[in-house]
Structure 1
């Protein structure tokens, strides 16, 4: 997706004079936002996998207690217990 956004960046540079320019700019912005969010989620998943490998998965990074299974099922990339997640 990032390549698609980048490759279309020069297209329709004069958006305000193109009848579809605003739509194209909006779609490009939407795609860029989705791409950034996807990259952020991927980074969270990779960090969770590292915690699995290192033995720290399921442990709150603030207090060191176990993160409840229900929280990990709902949010597998969680790094804090429910108590500390509520404080953020």
Structure 2
């Protein structure tokens, strides 16, 4: 399967994906630091936050931060997979039916692996 995109289009998508990767890495690092703070606060012997009526509990904080980290980790994996597809020539083709994924769809969602029809059917 050979890409029907021009080298300039592929370069533009690679640059867009690399920028998204840098943004996701930044969020991952930021929330990793916050997780360290939450972890330290949770392990504090005097922290009885479960009965604090003034705000969220450490458990809530931990759950929210864990979810954000998981999302960032999944986003990084999706971006890396899209970059690998650019390298192997399969970027822009639906992984389900093999049809071309439209450029507007890739502009909106550069990590898309499915054409719009297959994405609709996957819901």
> Structures share a fold, TM > 0.5?
yes
User: Scaled by the length of structure 2, what TM-score is found?
Assistant: 0.61
For residues 14-62 of structure 1, the C-alpha deviation after alignment (integer angstroms, 9 at most, x for no partner) is: 4324556743332222211111101111100000000000000000011
* Secondary structure, aligned partner of 1:38: helix
Residue 100 of structure 2: SS of its match in structure 1? Answer: coil
Question: What's the secondary structure of 1:9's corresponding residue?
Answer: helix
For the residues of structure 1 that align with 2:37 and 2:56, how far apart are their CA atoms? 18
Q: How many aligned positions are there? A: 88
How many Å apart are 1:10 and its aligned residue? 5.1
Task: Decide which structure has greater helix share.
Answer: 2
Of 43-52 and 23-32, the range deviating more from structure 2: 23-32
- 1:63 Cα shift? 1.1
User: Residues of 2 paired with 1:20 and 1:5: CA distance?
Assistant: 21
What is the RMSD of the two structures over their aligned residues, measured on CA atoms?
Answer: 2.1
Unpaired runs of at least 5, structure 1: none
- The one of the two structures with greater contact order (alpha-carbon pairs below 8 A, sep at least 6) is 2
Contact 1:2 1:35 in 2 (8 A): yes
